[in-house]
Every structure is written in structure tokens, then in C-alpha cells.
A and B are shown apart, each in its own frame.
Chain A
Amino acid sequence: MENKDLVIIGGGSAGMAAAIGAYNEGIRDILILEKGEFLGGILNQCIHNGFGLTEFKEELTGPEFASRFIEQVKEKGIEFKLHSFVTDISKDKVITYTSKEEGVVMVQAKAIVMAAGCYERNAGAIGIPGDRPAGVLTAGQAQLFLNEYGYMTGKKVFILGSGDIGLIMARRLTLEGAKVLGVAEICAWSNGLNRNMVQCLEDYGIPLYLSHTVSKVIGKGRLEKIVLSKVDDKMQPIPGTEKEFEVDTLILSIGLLPNNDLLNHIGIPTSRSRGSLVNDKLETCVPGIFSCGNVLHVHDLVDNVVEEAREAGKNAAIYLKGEEKKAASEIEVIAGDGIGYVVPGKISLDENLQSMTFKFRVRKPSKNVYIQYEQNGNVIKKVLKTAIIPSEMEIQKLPREKLVDEKSPITIKMVAKEM
């Protein structure tokens, strides 16, 4: 069996950034395993711009952003293998992968960074009522067909869900000559980035139906029409509000889910983000197995992904060098009222730790609220937000000296500001 210091699962933005993070800390024996034909992962099909504003201080397309990281990986001589599909990871860090050239290969790693990205919630997962014809597909799938294979999946399109890829595809398909009749969002608010609402819908006169959902899909072979309904406050369709649209395509942009089967399979607990539960080092309960990027929790911006992944790579390097400090205690982080999930789920209180960074999303858009940090019933920090929305991940810091003790869990919650 081959041995490697660090094996990284996935050669997208997170995997490459993690490799660079570890390299910068002096680790050289690194292997990136990528299932696809190229490094870059999903960025390769994201040909629109808007990537890199934080990372490179300029606006790049997905492939451009990816290529800058690919160059760094190549410059540094970091080893990567393409068409290499990981079928198994064991708790003792043996990775099994398969490829045309090498057959089935097992590698013993000293540390692993999981960076396998995410996949799209689809029609099956939400069980859209009605028929199951061709022409109901996810936004990323439509994007893949169009941008990588060069095929249009429809001419008259409706979009369910206001996720960013759906909005981007509304514009992209319109530019390709399709008619996009509307975007429905079951929530009373949009789930896309504000810039995409403006640049992809408003600029093209595409209507957005908030508090609406597709209550029926009709079509035997190909999609023929959809029924749009307004929903009540329990998100159930309201009878009598039905409106039919004759369309050949329904594009779903209803969320992304971490593609975390490999770690789930060995019993690593998950958090509410549906990624693995990690501590502030992005390390799972198995020492030396780290997770980052969209397989840990779904990000809005690739700039945030690479930052997090570099950190995971750096922490893996620290682990490999035996420089991980022994934590005096480990405390739990709880997503309380109004908070969807929070990463990390645990904090290792070692001697190096000076402040903690939390990434989380609120459950619904809110105005004039406090993000409140509590420990053992004590409010230890309060952050006033005049406006906060689920589609924008919140990143906040908490200095260590704010802790009232080093055992009790930290609960993060959203509370209304008393007027």
C-alpha cells in the first residue's frame, strides 16, 4: 500500500486551496484525488462572472478563478490525479480509489482533507406532486448541459426556487433564446444573492413569485405545464390560487446538499448543515480527518470556500507536524433559536486559541435583531444586525476572554431588539 502524508478528496476550489494551505505550512507529500476530467470542479461549468472579488480583488469567471488555483497547484508541484474516484475512506485513513489507468488503489494517509463539494436537491428529494416527465431538471444540470456539452434543455422555462444557480440560469437561458416565464420561491423572501436578483431577473423582466410553489407537474413524456400556487404560512398550497403555465422545462434551484457519504459511512456525526461535525480546526471526531468547503456546509461564495479550505489544509499540516496542541477542554456550539446551523460545532480550547470564528445562517430574513451568544444562561456577546438574511452566510468572531467558563456549551441565537 502506498503512503501519503496528506490526501485530499476532491480537486475543486476547496481541494486545491486545502492543498495549498498545507503546502504553505511545509507539507510536501500531498495527493489530490479528483473524479473528473479537470481540476476545478463545479467552477468549470460556472462561466458567468462574479468570482474572486475577495480573493483576487477582481471579477473573474468560474473557470478563470479555477485556473488561478490550478496554476498554483502546478507551480508548487502538488501531485494530483484525475479520473480517480474515491470509493472508500476508513477510520484509520486508508483511502480506496479507482481509475482507468491504475485500477483499484489503496493509499494509507496520515491526514485527510474532505473537499468533495455538494450536490443539488432535486425533484425526487422534495417529491414534487404530479407526473414525472422529462424536462424537470436541476439548475446545475441545465448549466452542465449548456455550458459544458453545448445543449439547450428547453425553450419555455419556469424556475422553482430562487437559489443563485437558478437565477444565473434564468439569465443564461434567456441569452440563449429561451423564454423564462417566472421564478417561484416558496419562502416569503428570495434565497439568492441580491446582485443576482437584480442582474439576472430584474434586468430581464423575469417575474419573481414569492410565497409560491409548483403544486403540480403535468406531462407524460415531456413536461407540458406546471401549476403554480400561492402558499400559506405553513408553506402549503392555498386552493383557489392555482395558475397554469405552459412550459417545456422546469428548472429547480431548491438548495444544495453536502456530498458527504464517505464520511457519513464511517459514522462521523453530522451537524445541521448536513456536513460532518467539526471543531474550530475543521477536524472531525477522527483525529487527522478534516472537512471544508461545500461538503462541510454550503457556501455562497467561492472566495469563502477557498479561505476556509486553506485553513483546513493549514490545520492538517499542523496535525501532521505533531504541533496540534492538546486541548484543556472541548465545548459544544449550539445553533439556537432562529439559527439554521453553525460551523464549527465544537471548540477545542487549546493554549493557542485566542478567538473563535463562527459561520452560520439565520432561518429567515430579519430586521433589528441581536445575534446573541450565551453560555450557561449568561449573555456573553451581542451583535446588532439591522438586517440579516438566510442567503448570506454570517461570519462572526468571539474572543476567548468572553467565555464565562471553559466547559459550558455556547449557544448562538437570534433575538428581537426591544424597541
Chain B
Amino acid sequence: MQDVIIIGAGAVGSFIARSLSAYKLRTLVIEKETDVGDVTSMANSAIAHSGYDPVPGTNKAKFNVLGNKMMPEVCKDLDVEFEMNGTLTLALYEEQLPTLKELAERAKLNGVEAHILSAKEVLEREPNIIKDVKGALFCPTGGIVNPFTLTSHAMENALDNGVELHLMEKVLDVKDLGDHFVVKTDKAEYEAKVVVNAAGLASDKFAKMMDDISWHITPRKGQYYVLNHFDKDLPGKKFVNSVVFPLPSEKGKGILVSRTTSGNYIVGPSSEPVDDISDVSCDSMTLANVKAQATAMVPGIPFGEQIRVYAGNRSTPSNHDFIIEPSKNHPHFINVAGIESPGLVSSPAIGEYVANELVAPILKPEKNPNFKKTIKPYIRPLTLSLEERNALIKKNPDYGEMVCNCERVSLGEIEDALNRSLPCMTIKALKKRTRAGFGKCQGGFCQPNVIRLLSKHYGVTPMEILYDKADSEIVLSEATKGAK
């Protein structure tokens, strides 16, 4: 019997697992994908929102503000790239200026620092913003975070503290037998005292297994451009330091222009409802519209530096707020659903709340005496001094051998990622952990070597290595002739 089963290992599921691992509990996380954080948590804007924007009093406001306050410490403990570079919400027309004031008021009610900047002040901060900007709301506590490692390091920490994770296993059914639940998957059946539904886009499906719920999830697609890293001070390469948004609308926070923690730049997202939760395709019309809207804020974005387009689906709840509460008829089944933006930054706070305020009162567990809130730091040679790098390579020469040329990822870093408690079985998982293959050549040079390293580590043939999803093998057979 498990104490807790968590369905879904996105950012939310991973942080709940981490917070639960501070207790003496048997916790199992079941994830259908080949890696943690492989759906909504990997295809978003990678922003640690300040919390000025959600309606005061909502769950979104509460968890966003809490999560943002937790970010510096969480990211330090979990060795996650995070930078508080501030967000600017622009008023592009005179008639938008009153809305800036309303937003500043809302920020105040949410307890978030915010300042209204004049056009002149905006341009002093960000000379590449359109010259006839009328003003902006500046929130210094907003920032950018690496969404891949935020999720995977939270799960790694949970696993280090005793949580169990099953990847590539799909939950089919959950039944409440009174004193416990039976969770049936495509591989086995498990019993659990508490079930946490953190199934993201599929969370309404599981909630319906318990109650006749009043809410549902609509997948809402967002499409993005990724640009290469370049020096934004070079002529013809215009970009911004802070995260830049238009004024928020009914459809969300609008199209943003942002740096990422890896020094890349992203532009997006669009916002369109889709029928199929797995539809993350991109289309030219929508992307052209994203480009037009972004250029209205920052003219001269060098789209010639584009290296990728992507899309992700937000779990938009019909009631427009995060749903974080026990099921009405089955109080030991906890729904954590509708976690759209600002979900990423909220996830550490949601994890704490679900573990301490919802699960702990039911199971009344003891504290885990061996709990450690930090993970073993990841060594990133390029952030070290020359002397430190030399000492490192002397100790482990693999840190001197480059595998990914574009992102400069060494063999040592790849081996480190492969030898953690959290499995890293696919090309995509390794890319999310180390950035190998994320650069301008998109794996053109390093992918064969990455496949070789994965197959060697897991003792399988290269034909068995997946890019990401089921059936996503890259090489299909051995060549018959002509090769060595």
C-alpha cells in the first residue's frame, strides 16, 4: 500500500513529490511520458512571474506571489538557473495608461512591488523597445527560470529523499474502495491511501472518475519562436534585458519577448484552444501573427537568428482559477488542476501547500529525518574560472571533451546527468538536463554521439534509443554495406 500516489510528473507533480518527501511517507509518482516535465512544463514561457497580474484573492494570486518569493531559495537548493531580471508590461497607446494604473493597484493588493515608468524611463532601461511606447509597469521581482531543470531537479530531489517514480506508465482508472484507492495502470495495479491528481491537461478526466465535476480543462495552445544566443549589443541584434509583455487581455498575458536563462531569446506565445491535448503542432499563420505582435513592442528583433519553433498546451480551467482542493465526495483524492500560467512559478508553493495543508492532515505523517532539501550541484565547467576548470578536467578529463559544440556541453556533464537518481533515457531528456542539442545546429553534429552515449549507458542498441515519445527512434536499422 502506497501512502500517496501522484498522477503526473510535471512541475506541479514534481514539487508535490518533493514536499511530500519531507515526510516519512511511501510516495509513488506515475507519469505516462518518457521523462518528467515533458508536456506543459517544458513548453511554456519560462517566466517566474511576479504576481502583479492575477485577480486578488484567487488561488492564482496566492500561489504566484508565494511561489515567486520561494524562487530564489528553491532555485539555489535545486541548482536551477534563475534570474530576477524584472518584467515590463508596456502601454503602447495613450488609452492604455489608465490600465497600467489599475494593474499597479492590483499589484499592491497582491503585495507585489511594481512601479509605473514613464516612456523615457522605459527607453532608458530598454533602448530597443519601440520609441513611441507610452509607459510601462515594471515589476522587479519577476524573472526568468529554466523550466526543464526546475522540474527535473525537484523530482531528482524527491527521489533522493525516497520517492518512487514510474515513467512510461499510464494511469487508466482510479477507484475509491472506502479506506483506500486502487489505481490501475497499463502495467499494474496499486493501492494508495491518498491520490493526488496532478495530471495537467488530463486532470479533468481523472477528476470525473471521482465526482460529477463542474469544471473542465480546455487545452489552449501557445506557439513560440526560439532565437539563438547572440550579443544583443552588437549592431543589428536588438533585444531586451527584462521580460517584456503587452497589457494582459482576456486571452492571457499576451505575446512576450524574453531572454531565457540559457541566453537564448523567446518570442510568444499565441493563444488558441485546441481539441486534442496532444496537438502541439505549429502553423505559419499563427507564428506570423506572433512575430507581428512582438515586433510592435520590440522592432528589429533579429528573426534571422531563429533556431526553433515550438508549441505547448496550457491547462486552461473553465473557472479561470487554479483548482487545488480535495474532491467533494472523496476527500482523500486531491485535485491539483487548471495550473496554467503562472503555474511554473507557483509550483513550489503549490507543492508545499498540497503536502503540508492537504495531505499531512489526512495521513498525519512523521517528518522524514533524512530529508535533504538540496541536490548534488551540477558542475557547469563554463561557469568556472580557468583554474577551477583545469582542476576539474585533471580530476575527470571528460569535462574537457566537448560533446555539444553549439551549447558547449562536455562529456562529463552528460555522464553526470546519466548517473543521477532521476532516469534520463531519451535524447530529449538529456537535452533538457544538459542543453546538448538545444543549439543552433539542433543536434545536427552531436546527436549520433548522444545516441551512442545513451545506448552505452543503458546497454541497449542505438535503434532502441528514443528521441522523446513512444516510436520516436532516430535510427531504424544497421546499414548493410559501405559503413565501418
Residues of A within 8 A of B (CB): 35, 47, 83, 85, 87, 98-104, 106, 119-120, 122-125, 127, 129-135, 137-138, 140-141, 144-155, 175-177, 216, 220-222, 248, 261, 264-265, 267, 269
Per the 8 Å Cβ criterion, residues 344-393 of B in contact with A are 381-382, 386, 389-390, 393
15 examples of A-B residue contacts, CB within 8 angstroms: A87-B382, A99-B400, A119-B440, A119-B444, A122-B442, A123-B442, A127-B225, A127-B306, A130-B281, A130-B283, A149-B483, A152-B478, A220-B471, A222-B471, A265-B231
Measured between alpha carbons, how far is A138 from B400 in the docked complex, in Å? 28
Assuming the contacts A100-B393, A125-B306, A267-B234, asked whether A147 and B442 have C-beta atoms less than 8 A apart, the reply is: no
- What residues of B have a CB within 8 angstroms of the CB of A248 in the complex? 476
Do A264 and B234 have beta carbons less than 8 Å apart?
yes
Q: Report the Cα distance A35→B405, complex, angstroms.
A: 9
Pick the contact of A124 from B307, B472, B478, B484 — CB < 8 Å? B307
Query: Do the beta carbons of B309 and A124 come within 8 Å of each other?
Result: yes
Rounded to whole angstroms, the CA-CA distance of A284 and B306 in the bound complex is 26
B130 touches A (CB below 8 Å): no
B230–A148 CB distance below 8 A: no
* Contact A149-B281, Cβ < 8 Å, known A127-B306, A264-B230: no
Give chain B residues whose Cβ lies under 8 Å from the Cβ of A104.
386, 389-390, 393, 400
Residues of B within 8 A of A85 (CB): 401-402, 405, 408
Q: Determine the distance from Cα of A414 to Cα of B235 in the docked complex, in whole angstroms.
A: 29
How many Å from the CB of B163 to the closest CB on chain A? Answer: 28
CB of B480 closer than 8 Å to a CB of A: yes
Beyond A124-B306, A146-B479, list 13 extra A-B contacts (CB 8 Å).
Answer: A35-B405, A103-B390, A104-B386, A122-B441, A124-B442, A125-B440, A127-B306, A127-B309, A130-B282, A154-B476, A176-B482, A221-B466, A222-B473
Stretch from B16-24, B118-126, B189-197, B445-453 contacting the other chain:
B445-453
Determine the distance from Cα of A127 to Cα of B448 in the docked complex, in whole angstroms.
22
Whether A149 lies near B480 (C-beta < 8 A) is no
Does B397 touch A at the CB level, under 8 Å?
A: yes
Tell whether, in the assembled complex, residue A129 and residue B281 are in contact, meaning their CB atoms are under 8 Å apart: yes
Min distance, Cβ B24 to any Cβ of chain A, angstroms: 39
Q: Which residues of A contact B477 (CB under 8 A)?
A: 151-152, 155
Contact present for B389 and A150 (CB under 8 Å): no
Contact B475 A151 (CB under 8 A): yes
For the residues of A in contact with B, the DSSP-based class is mixed
Residues of A within 8 A of B226 (CB): 124
Residue of B nearest to A47 (CB): B482
Are A103's CB and B472's CB within 8 A? no
* Least CB distance, A90 to chain B, in whole angstroms: 13
Taking CB atoms, residues of chain A closer than 8 Å to B389 are 98, 103-104
Cα separation A122 to B397 with both chains bound (whole Å): 32
Task: Give every chain B residue within 8 A of A261 (Cβ-Cβ).
Answer: 440
B400 near A101: Cβ-Cβ < 8 Å = yes
Given A104-B400, A134-B467, A153-B474: A129 and B481 interface contact (C-beta under 8 Å): no
Contacts of A100 in B (CB 8 A): 393, 397-398, 400-401
Within 8 A of A (CB), among B275-298: 278, 280-284, 287
Residues of B within 8 Å of A87, CB to CB, are: 382, 408
A152's partner among B281, B306, B448, B476 (CB-CB below 8 A) is B476
B320 within 8 A of A: no
- As a 0/1 sequence over residues 400 to 444 of chain B, the CB contacts with chain A under 8 angstroms (1 = contact) are 111001001010000000000000000000000000000011111
In the bound complex, what is the Cα–Cα distance between A146 and B474 (angstroms)?
Answer: 12
Chain A: minimal CB distance from B253 (Å): 23
By a CB distance below 8 angstroms, the chain B residues around A127 are: 225, 282, 284, 287, 306, 308-309
Least CB distance from B6 to A in Å reads 25
B400–A131 CB distance below 8 A: no
Q: Residue B310 at the A interface, CB < 8 A?
A: yes
7 A-B pairs closest in CB distance: A221-B471, A150-B483, A124-B308, A151-B475, A134-B472, A134-B467, A127-B309
Whether A176 touches B281, Cβ cut-off 8 Å, given contacts A101-B400, A124-B309, A134-B472, is: no
A35: chain B residues within 8 A (beta carbon):
402, 405
CB-based contact B400/A98 at 8 Å? yes
Q: Is the CB of B283 within 8 A of A137?
A: no
Contacts of A152 in B (CB 8 A): 475-479
CA–CA, A192 and B231, complex, Å: 34
**B232 contacts A by Cβ under 8 Å:** no
A residues in contact with B386, CB < 8 Å: 104, 106
Residues of A with C-beta under 8 A to B405: 35, 85
Q: Assess whether B321 is interfacial by the CB under 8 Å rule.
A: no
Closest chain B CB from A236 CB (angstroms) = 8
- By a CB distance below 8 angstroms, the chain B residues around A216 are 281
B468 lies within 8 A of chain A by Cβ: yes
Q: Could you tell me if B400 and A102 are in contact, using CB atoms closer than 8 angstroms?
A: yes
Q: Quote the shortest CB–CB distance from B466 to chain A (angstroms).
A: 8
Q: Distance in Å from the Cβ of A397 to the closest Cβ of chain B?
A: 31
From the candidates B401, B469, B473, name the one contacting A220 in the complex (CB within 8 A): B469
Q: Indicate which residue in B394, B469, B479 contacts A221 across the interface (CB closer than 8 Å).
A: B469
A68: min CB distance to chain B, Å:
20
Whether a CB of chain A sits under 8 angstroms from the CB of B188 is no
Max chain A CB contacts within 10 Å: which of B390, B398, B441, B473?
B441
In the complex, how many angstroms separate the beta carbon of A415 from the nearest chain B beta carbon? 28
B474 near A137 with CB under 8 A, answer yes
Asked if B177 is at the interface (CB within 8 A of a chain A CB), the reply is no
Find chain A residues with CB under 8 A from B382 CB. Answer: 87
Q: How far is the CB of A330 from chain B (nearest CB, A)?
A: 19
CB distance from B269 to the nearest CB of A (A): 14
**Distance between Cα atoms of A297 and B230 in the complex (Å):** 20
Query: A140 vs B442: C-alpha distance in the bound complex, in angstroms?
Result: 12
Do A120 and B441 touch (CB < 8 A)?
A: yes
- Tell me which residues across on chain A come within 8 A of B278, comparing CB atoms: 220
Q: Is there contact, CB below 8 Å, between A145 and B475?
A: yes
Give the Cβ gap from A349 to chain B, nearest Cβ, in Å.
26
With a cutoff of 8 Å between Cβ atoms, the chain B residues found around residue A146 in the complex are 479, 482-483
B143 within 8 A of A: no
Q: Are A131 and B281 in contact (CB under 8 A)?
A: yes
